[in-house]
Structure formats: C-alpha cells, structure tokens
Amino acid sequence: MSMGIKYCLLVAICIWALSDSLASTTPSDNDGLVRIALKKRSLDLKSLKAARIIPNRDASHARGLGDTNSNSNVLKTDIIYLKNYYDAQYYGEIGIGTPRQIFTVVFDTGSSNLWVPSSKCVLSIACYIHSKYRARLSRTYTKIGKHCKIPYGSGSVFGFFSQDHVRVGDFVIKDQEFVEVTREGFFPFVTTEYDGVLGLGFQDISVGHVTPVWYDMFFQHHISQQIFSFWLNRDPTSRLGGEIVFGGIDWRHFRGDHTYVPLTHQDYWQIEVGDILIANRPTGLCEFGCAAIVDSGTSLLAGPTTIVAQINHAIGAAGIVSIECKTVMYKYGSMIWEYLIEGVRPETICVGVGLCNGTHHLSTGIASMVYNETQAGSSVDDHESALCTFCGMIVYWIQVQLKERRTKEKVFTYVNELCERLPNPIGKSFIDCDNIAGMPYISFTIGNKSFPLSPEQYTLRVEENYGTVCVSGFGALDVPPPQGPLWVLGDLFLGAYHTVFDFGNLRVGFAKAA
C-alpha cells in the first residue's frame, strides 16, 4: 500500500559500496572511518508504478519464517509493514566470497538480512539477468542449507542460508551468514538494476535471527563505534548520490548540531514524532505522539491517511473522489459537529452515531480496511468498516478545524474537499509543477523541534520524453493502535536531514544536510 494511476510508495535507496576494481572508497584520512560514495539513478514513470508499503498482521510471515520448520519458533502477533523493491534510485556494490564475486545491492535500514541470487536459481527469470553467487568458486564458503523466505508487499523471495566472507568498502566481514535466493516470487525484480538487498536493521527482524552485516562490522573490530550515517544528495543533475559513513559521521555533510531522539523499539529504527504541521498549522492526529520508522529503503514519506489527505488538500494534489466519505459527512456531519461542541470524547463519537461498534479500535485510514478484523478472526463487513473509517477521519478533521475557530460552513466545505483528496493506497497523487514554489512547508516535530520540508524537498520531478511530471512525496500507510498511527520517513526526509543511526546509544540523530 483507483483512478488507473498506480504509484510507487516505495522506491528503494541503494548505496554504491565500491570494490577494489572501482576505487572511490577511501579510508577517510586515517580517521578510522570508511566513506562509501553513493551512485544515483534517475527515476521515471515506469519505475513509479508497482511498489508500495502495506501492513501485515502476521509477524511470523513478515519476519520470513513461514517456510522454515519453525514449530518451536512461535512469534507474537504484531503489525509489520512490508515493502516492495521495484526500482532503485541509489545502488551500490559489495563482494562475496574468495575471490570476490561482485553484486549490486540495496542498503536498507528497514530490513536486516543480506541476500543475493544463487547459482541454483533456475526457475525465476530475474535470476538470469542478475549476478548469481556461485559457492563452488569460493574457497571461504561454508554450507548451511536451511531454507527460508523473505516477504515483500507483492510476494516473497525464497532461498537458503549460506556463509562466506563479505566485503563492504574496505571491510572484509568474515564468515557472514546470508541468503542465497533460489526463487524471486514477483515480477518487479526482473526490471531492477540491483541484485539483492543488504539490511541495516536490527537482528530482531532478521529472517532466521541471523546476525546482520553491520553488527559483524563492529564485532570484528572494523569500526570502533556502533554508528553509521547517511548523507543523500537530492540534486537531480548530480551523478554523486551522497555518502554513507560506517563508524562515525562526516562534519562536511551537515550544518549545526544533530538533534538526537531515543529509539522506542529495537526492531526497526523507530522513534516518536509529534504533530505534523502544514504551514505551521497542526494536523492533530500525532499531537500526542506517533511512531515513525526511519527507513533508507523507502523513497517517499508514508503516513496516516487522515494527515496525508490534509497535506494533499493543502498542496493541491489530485487524489480520488470518495463518495462514501462525502455520504458520511452529509448524513452525520451535523451530529458529529454537535457532539464535539458539547465536549463528547472524539473516540466515542462514531460509536455514538452508530457507524462503529465499540469492540474494535477506531480505524483512521483507508488501508486499514484491508485487515480490519475482529479479535475472533471473523471479517467485518466491508461497507460497515468503510463507514467507520470515514467517520473517524471526519471527526479528526472537524476537531482540527474547531481549534482554528472556523465557522461550521467553512469547516464542512473543507471536510468535503478533504474527502476528494483522499489518497488511494495503490495510486499516486500528482501536482502541478508550476505551483511548487507556492506550496506550503510541511514540518515534522521530532524531539520538540521542528523539521520542515520545503515543497522542493517533499515532491519528485520525473522527467519523461514528453515533459516533466511532478508527484507528491506523501502516500497513505495506516496501522491501527497500539502499533500505529505510523509514519515511514524515507529518502525524501533523509535527503533534507543528515541522519545518524547510533546503535551504541539506541538513538537516531538529525541535522540539516549540507
């Protein structure tokens, strides 16, 4: 996670970790760090069609244990977001084996495994157009053989675990466990320029609980600090995509001091964000805090439909017309208004008007309808679920407008406009390129500080043969409480703010990118 316009909510960020034969990785002036240049690939409309982020309630599936004999590995049920890797804007190279076999991979803070195609991959077309690992050619290979699968939004990749030396920049990580993929179960991999994925996430979400590559960098004393940092170059005319630094930070890549915030979970690089502001006006839903995952493997910004619709309205993004949303507003808007004026608790209003039953969490986004189920496991009627969802969004929208002391007529007009701007979970919102300069700043509150994004920073310009197409960088991702509401801060955010991933102190830091 239609008007016939599909979108890529997820475009993976990749990093150019160069081998000896491609010498642009340097040991950083004897400061104990290794800087890895990032190479960037331009986006086009073809690459903005398929991939999206969707929630999944089955943690065992999302963590890739579904194909293993894991009767003893019972994981708690949780909301895990899944990603599609359709195309890469940044890509890079690593080496596996002795002598080294070169692979192009995504460096992804939202996952934790290293995987590349195997020479035993014979049933997937994608394997024939990508580099394949050949164990028999490496004298440092060790067989493991345990089977696994790694799920994504539109399918899974399947394979088995092996062990070999892995080279990242100037580092040789010895005896690293990784996955040899034997089947790539969905079409998008056929069109990608990269071969696999190198995860920079935590071991807790690693398929098979394998130790991630960047853990072993520290354990094997390649770096003295458990830190890596990203600087991404958003200049579309520059071939240099940015830089990743393992073991520290480079002061040349940022201005001012970093604002550090603690991790709220040790599975993803997850923090808490406060209210999201549109031209300094609050959107309301995250006023008391929302979860946010800092994810270098997601190109755009994903968040609750309730807020994304407000942003789309403010920037003039073309969404879909929702008749049901307008119907709820027409029939129940005055009643919701009166309840809010009288001080009725917002979370009880939709139950009070009869659109939600009191046994389920109030849904605040379209995508949550997909998995809005009762605790007993029986499905809720789709129509009733939709009415409850739209009611919840309308309550939030009216509540925000009441704080602005606007008249009932103006509030109702605004809410109906928001219904028209609802983002489609499998669509993309387009904007007029000529209007970008006049669009408002969108600000995230992190650590009680404001982190604004300019219109140029939260939009994408896609060059086509017939001209330039501009796309909103905001897409819908709805995760219900208690795990949600949830934001995913992808490369549009990392491009604006130099980001430090500090595992040693369990925190993430942001400073304005240079």
Which residue in 174, 229, 172, 191 sits closest to 15, CA to CA? 229
Q: Is 409 helix (H, G, I), strand (E, B) or coil?
A: helix
Are residues 462 and 456 in contact, defined by beta-carbon separation less than 8 angstroms?
no
Q: CA-CA distance, 434 to 418, in Å (whole number)? A: 22
Q: CA-CA distance, 81 to 153, in Å (whole number)? A: 8
| Helix then strand then coil, % of the chain, to nearest 5 | 25, 35, 40
Count CA atoms within 13 Å of residue 448 on its CB side.
0
31 catalytic residue (yes or no):
no
Q: How many C-beta neighbours within 10 Å does residue 379 have?
A: 10
| Burial label, 203 (beta-carbon count in 10 A; 0-12, 13-18, 19+) | middle
DSSP string across 22-51:
S---B-TTTSS-EEEEEEE----GGGGSS-
Q: CA-CA distance, 343 to 436, in Å (whole number)? A: 39
- Name the active-site residue from 164, 275, 295, 502: 295
| Burial label, 129 (beta-carbon count in 10 A; 0-12, 13-18, 19+) | middle
Which residue in 363, 395, 318, 293 sits closest to 81, CA to CA? 293
| Burial label, 75 (beta-carbon count in 10 A; 0-12, 13-18, 19+) | middle
Are residues 324 and 387 in contact, defined by beta-carbon separation less than 8 angstroms?
yes
108 catalytic residue (yes or no):
yes
What strand order describes the sheet that includes 430-431?
A: 430-431, 467-472, 459-464
Q: How many C-beta neighbours within 10 Å does residue 359 have?
A: 10
Q: CA-CA distance, 247 to 227, in Å (whole number)? A: 5
Number of H helices, E strands in the chain: 9, 28
Q: How many C-beta neighbours within 10 Å does residue 72 have?
A: 5
Q: CA-CA distance, 299 to 121, in Å (whole number)? A: 28
Residues involved in catalysis: 108, 295
